[in-house]
Amino acid sequence: MLAPARIGDPIAAVDTPALMLDLDAFEANLRAVHAAVAASGLALRAHAKAHKCVEIARRQVAAGAVGLCCQKVAEAEVFVAGGIRDVLVSNQVIGAAKLRRLARLSQQALIGVCVDHPQQVRALADALAQEGGCIEVLIEVDVGGGRCGVIGEAAVLELAALVAAHAPVLRLRGLQAYHGRAQHRRTPEERREAIAAAAAAAAAARDALRAAGHDCPVVTGAGTGTYPLEAATGVYTEVQPGSYVLMDADYFANQPDPQAPALRQALTVHCQVISERPGQVVLDAGLKAFSVDSGLPVPLAEGWRAVSISDEHLVLRPSGEGARATLRLGDTLSVVPGHCDPTVNLHDHLVAHRAGRVEAVWPVDARGALT
């Protein structure tokens, strides 16, 4: 696929629609979050499902991340091939073919995976017996997300005993305790309440493991919206922010938490006006360029708002008292996605720019890595 830009191009020359990364904002976010986590004494394991880009992953590790998270075996394969040597698949994996791939991957890098059912543990051990390797296991606890994870200490202990029974090919690393729903609770008070409950559940699971004679060196979780809260609990040893290097409109809809460093919008989509009429313009980027699960994208053009989206079109109309920025046929503008992670997965390239010019064009290496 032809890249939408070349190094040295002015932004105005970038073909549209194109996924754009403001390097100054990206680097500022990287420094701010990594410094905040380091000051808390916790480890930072960057979640690569947000950017799916090997070059960004390398920069996160160079800035102090202990490794990466991802959600799919295929994503893990991409990042290990790109030189990352510590990857946690922070998800459940089932199916013989996937598990054999994961086992083979564990011969090239330190691999972790989450479990919440005995069948997952047995199937993982079977795959390792066939392929060789060793995988570290984290028992996922449902700490309020209502998605994956066990509920109650008895289930945690059952899984821990099963993992121990399959040593040395399986090794218990600890607990996964991520509260995804808390990331976009709008007020700091709502987020703080959710994470207090999450930490209590994680602590109960950790204490039960230790009382039963199991090591629990790692309690990991957290995201961009809450990581300072998990860090302050004294329960978590590691946090997993992902969107912090990109950001999106949904995160900026949150009321800021004074405990967290201010972040900047680094990710946008470069779009062009392809149709105009009085009171309306249409851009050349629609559902194939933006995810809208978290709402319509936000144009960075004063006085304009998105009102509808279809496969290849985004319709803008004046907001409030009318548009103050003039948009005409052929004009280009930046638009902020509502949700960065699935928006990135729609693009082949990420155009990295600084001071109005293209500095690099990076492949979205794990785009479509869904298995």
Pairing status of strand 110-115 against strand 298-299: unpaired
The pLDDT of residue 194:
97
* One-character DSSP codes across 130-171: HH---EEEEEEB-SSSSSSSB-SHHHHHHHHHHHHHTTTTEE
* Residue 169, both tokens: 């090919």
pLDDT confidence band for 259 (50 / 70 / 90): confident
Do the Cβ atoms of 273 and 250 come closer than 8 Å?
no
User: Does residue 17 surpass a pLDDT of 90?
Assistant: yes
Number of CB atoms found within 10 A of residue 11's CB: 18
Do the Cβ atoms of 354 and 22 come closer than 8 Å?
yes
Task: Identify which of 176, 148, 171, 173 has the alpha carbon closest to the alpha carbon of residue 240.
Answer: 176
For the domain spanning 23-246, the CATH number is 3.20.20.10
Full-model pTM: 0.96
Do the Cβ atoms of 142 and 204 come closer than 8 Å?
no
* Residue 110, both tokens: 């330190």
Cβ-Cβ contacts under 8 Å for 335 (sequence gap 6 or more): 268, 269, 271, 283, 285, 290, 297, 298, 299, 300, 306, 314
Averaged pLDDT of the chain: 97
The pLDDT of residue 163:
99
Q: Where are the domains of the chain?
A: 11-19+263-363, 23-246
pLDDT confidence band for 324 (50 / 70 / 90): confident
Give domain 11-19+263-363's CATH number out of 3.60.20.30, 2.40.37.20, 3.20.20.70, 3.40.50.1110. 2.40.37.20
Q: What percent of the chain has pLDDT over 70?
A: 99
User: Residue 104: phi, psi to the nearest 5?
Assistant: -65, -35
pLDDT confidence band for 270 (50 / 70 / 90): very high
User: Does residue 325 surpass a pLDDT of 90?
Assistant: no
